Each structure stands twice: as structure tokens, then as C-alpha cells.
Amino acid sequence: MHASASPSTVRPTSAANSALGRLRWRIVDIVVASVIGVASGLIFLLWNFGYLGPKALLDPLLPGLQGLLDGPWLFAGVLGALIIRKPGAAIYVETLAAVVSALVGNQWGGFLTIEAGLVQGLGAEIIFLLFLYRAWSLPVALVAGAAAAFAGGINNLILWYAGADATFTTVYLISTVVSGAVIAGGLSWVLARGLAATGALDRFASGRERRALV
């Protein structure tokens, strides 16, 4: 007697395989995520010194307002996730960028720089996870950037601003979250779409999706 599988028994397996394939990292994902991380780390290096001028202007205005300058250290994880669209992309890219900054050297020390990158990447990663790695719109990117900033801000308050009063804490957290949402979230989303429109990301869902709309 010949028994054939019914559609109801085949479809769940196919759907599960499709979902696993969508979330599984490929070699090209690792390579491109690494390139984004290293390139972002070089931008971090420039901002490690470039932020000092704006900071000198903001410090006298209102304590904690320097949080507005945090965004350029937060964009790597969001950008990496928007392009790669795989679990762990935000953590990997943001942490790798921090490693590059730490290896070259900066005023905060290697370990704390890498630790900060890990925390910031985790903040963004949680948002994409909550959407099951299926939502990549501008609002989600803004929230992911804000979450990276909030996580990084709490980390900074514990490590660098211990004992800060309520005013400083409030102003700093609001400032860094705004910076994270606008720069890490909004700017990364615009950059990812711009790269996709050129055809450079055609091997990724992010690139094919954008090209299909053009």
C-alpha cells in the first residue's frame, strides 16, 4: 500500500525550514557584518576625539546634555541588523566596532570600551528580537536606536557617572535616547536604504526588498 504525505503534514515542515533558513547566518552575512563592524569602528575612532569640541559647548548649558553626542557610537548595531537581518547581528557589529576602537586605543580603556559596545548592541538586539526579526521599518529602527542608547546610558551612569543627581540623570538619559533614536536609528535606516538602492545589498533581503520598490 502506497501512502503519500498530505499537504497538511508537509507544509509545517517546509515553513519551519524556511524560517530557519531565513535566520541562519551565511558566509556572506559574516563577511559583510564584519566589514560594517570594522568600518563603524573607524568612525568610532574619529568621534572619540571629534566629540570633544561639541562637548565643550554643551557642558556649560545643562549638565547631562552631552548625551546628545552619544549617537555616533550607537549606530553600528542598528545598521548591521537592518542590513543582515539575522539574530545576533546588532550585538556582533556593535561589539566588533567597539573592539576596533579598543585595539587602536582610546581614553576609556579597552575592556570598558568593549563592554559598552556589547551593552549597546544588546539594547538594539532586544528590539529586533521582540519583533521576531521580521520588522525593519523606520519606527522599529528608531526604537532600536533609542534602546541601544538607553542601555548604554544606564551603563555609563553606573560606570562613569556614579552618584549623579536626579537632574543630571534625567537630562542625560533623555538626551542620549534622543540621539540614539535620531542618529543610530533614523540615520542608519536611511543609510541602509541608500545602500540597498544602489544594488550593493542584492544578496540580502534588505537589498532585494528595497530594489523591488524602485
pLDDT (tens digit per residue) in 25-36: 999 999 999 999
| pLDDT of the residue at 204 | 84
Does the pLDDT value for residue 75 go beyond 90? yes
Does the pLDDT value for residue 20 go beyond 90? no
Of residues 178, 177, 157, 158, the one with CA closest to residue 168 = 157
Does the pLDDT value for residue 203 go beyond 90? no
Instruction: Report d(CA 198, CA 13) in Å as an integer.
Output: 36
User: CB–CB of 133/85 below 8 Å?
Assistant: yes
Instruction: Report d(CA 73, CA 184) in Å as an integer.
Output: 8
pLDDT (tens digit per residue) in 100-157: 999 988 888 899 999 999 999 999 999 999 999 999 999 999 999 999 999 999 999 9
∠ Cα 19 94 98 (to 5°): 155
Q: What is the pTM of this model?
A: 0.87
Q: Which band of pLDDT confidence, cut at 50, 70 and 90, is reported for residue 14?
A: low
Q: What is the mean pLDDT of residues 71-75?
A: 97
User: CB–CB of 119/152 below 8 Å?
Assistant: yes
| pLDDT of the residue at 167 | 95
Q: What is the mean pLDDT of residues 29-49?
A: 96
Could you state, in order of their start, the residue ranges of all structural domains in the chain? 26-213
Q: What percent of the chain clears pLDDT 90, i.e. is strictly above it?
A: 77
User: What's the mean pLDDT when you consider all of the chain?
Assistant: 90
Q: What is the mean pLDDT of residues 170-199?
A: 96
Instruction: Report d(CA 157, CA 168) in Å as an integer.
Output: 10
CATH class of 26-213: mainly alpha
